[in-house]
Amino acid sequence: MKFVHIADMHFDSPFTTLSDKGNLGEKRRIEQRKIFKKVIEYIKENNIEYLFISGDLYEHKYIRRTTIEYINDLFKEIPETKIFISPGNHDPYLKKSYYNDFNWNKNVKIFNSEVEKVELENIDIYGYGFDDFYCSEAKIEDLKISNPEKINILIIHGTLDGANLEDKQYNSMSKKMLEEKGFDYIALGHIHKTNYSEKEKIIYPGSTMSLGFDELGEHGMIVGEITKRENKIEFIKLDETEFVEYELDCTEIQSIEELIEKINNIKIEENKLYKIILTGKRNFEINIYNLYKYDLNEKIIKIKNQTKPNYDIEEIVRENTLKGLFAKEIIREMNKKEYSQEIIENALEIGMEILE
């Protein structure tokens, strides 16, 4: 059986980081449609039998009916492809959701909060969907494969081996438990980073397109072919835009004008959006909000200041001045370890500026 596996499309996401940058947020929403159309075109060109969508297809809070109609119209273009959707925490199967009260094309199967099995000739497909924005009792551990001779697929949204409270709110499942179930392929969603290999049967395709700077690297879909003997799996990049981070050492920079010049001299690549991370020692006050007022390249979306003040506190302590006395107090506080290093450094910088 040939399949395509995607997850975390997040249609109509507000793209908060980009919305302040002209029409970039709207451009990304248009790109969402283009990327999803690429998925459908690939399915048509390669006679793909199954499309697995492992949750967060859209944003329940922001999704528009016109977007749902656009998605469904594309589903109509692949009538011979069986489409299986397992709703996630951003698109749960609520009473008043498009999953529940929209007339989807007949080739679309949407799972709900009861684990369900769809029996096909040589394949059994199991699925489960969120019915709320959180899920802690999916009871997947009770699931048993009814016919091990067939190809068995599980489509589900959630976290693997979630250790903290937040992870456990999003259908945390033991990887060991899932492996012991005996599925030939488990199509996961929720984690936006791609995680796959041909040896693995539990796969996150990652988000189909990058939603921001916490999703660096390539994004796309998993395609493959499954038999009882082996799985052939491949990742295909779909998102031409890539979010990247660039570190700029400020230690030798002496003024705001020089800093702006350095930022503008960064080699900017065409299909990338940049987050500039300022590092090293700073020799002057850096106000991030003021930096955005300068004429920077439009592909520089975000600037983060991780510099530390360029003070030699040990040398200042030896001064018989107010600065020296203040520095001694700072060292005492550092030794107490009642405050974080960041708070101490900020206090030092503010104090030194006042005492100039």
282 and 340 inside one domain: no
Mark whether 294 and 259 lie in a shared domain: yes
Residue 97 has pLDDT above 80, yes or no: yes
Same domain, 191 and 79: yes
CA distance 257 to 21: 22
Q: Please give the pLDDT value at position 356.
A: 63
Identify the weakest region by mean pLDDT among 86-90, 275-279, 318-322: 318-322
100-103, long-range: CB < 8 A, 24+ apart: 102/65, 102/68, 102/72
Q: Which residues pair with 138 in a beta bridge?
A: none
Do 56 and 144 share a domain, yes or no? yes
Residues 6+ apart with CB under 8 A from 120: 82
Structural domain harbouring 337: 312-356
For all residues of the chain together, what is the average pLDDT?
91
pLDDT at 276: 97
Mean pLDDT of 334-345: 73
pLDDT grade, residue 181 (50/70/90)?
very high
Assess whether 333 and 301 both reside in one domain.
Answer: no
204 and 145 belong to one structural domain: yes
Residues 39 and 107 in one domain: yes
Antiparallel, parallel or unpaired: β 231-237 and 220-226: antiparallel
Assess whether 259 and 319 both reside in one domain. no
The predicted pLDDT at position 259 comes to: 96
The per-residue pLDDT for 78 is 98
User: Is it the case that residue 317 has pLDDT exceeding 90?
Assistant: no
pLDDT digits (tens, 9 = 90+) for 2-34: 999 999 999 999 887 786 676 888 889 999 999
Q: Considering its fold, how many domains does the chain have in total?
A: 3
pLDDT value at residue 19: 67
Q: What is the pLDDT of residues 56-74, one digit of tens each?
A: 999 999 999 999 999 999 9
**Based on the domain organization, do 210 and 102 belong to the same domain?**
yes
The residue out of 190, 211, 237 marking a domain boundary is 237
Q: What CATH number is attached to the domain comprising 190?
A: 3.60.21.10
pLDDT in tens, 203-248: 999 999 999 998 999 999 999 999 988 899 999 999 999 999 999 9
Chosen domain end from 185, 212, 237: 237
Q: What is the reported pLDDT for 322?
A: 86
Task: Say whether both 33 and 153 belong to one domain.
Answer: yes
Do 199 and 54 share a domain, yes or no? yes
Read off the pTM: 0.86
